[in-house]
């Protein structure tokens, strides 16, 4: 079973992990805190891999920059 982390903004693959399918629990992945709707948005399970959409560092930095600029414009 493969875990694939990709950026949901730029679609870059961030990380791939080979994991034991039996060892994967939603708790371990931190998914148990998500609502079912959020899980649907973030997680895409295929036959042999689980794709997880997160935000990569680049996009996060960009987001920070945008909110910084927006904040400056507002104030």
- Closest CB to Zn ion among 52 and 56? 56
Query: Which positions from 27 through 66 interact with Zn ion, judged by CB under 5 A?
Result: 56, 59
Stretch that binds Zn ion, among 5-13, 17-25, 44-52, 63-71 (CB under 5 A): 5-13
Adjacent-strand bridge partners of 45: 50
Min CB(60)–Zn ion separation in Å: 8
Among 2, 10, 13, 28, the residue binding Zn ion under the rule CB under 5 A is 10
């Amino acid at each position: 079973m493969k875990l694939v982390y990709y950026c949901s903004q730029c679609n870059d693959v961030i990380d791939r992990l080979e994991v034991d399918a039996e060892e994967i629990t939603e708790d371990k992945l931190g998914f148990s805190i998500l609502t079912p709707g959020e899980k649907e948005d973030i997680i895409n399970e295929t036959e042999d891999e689980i794709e997880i959409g997160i935000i990569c560092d680049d996009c996060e930095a960009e987001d920070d920059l945008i909110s910084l600029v927006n904040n400056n414009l507002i104030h």
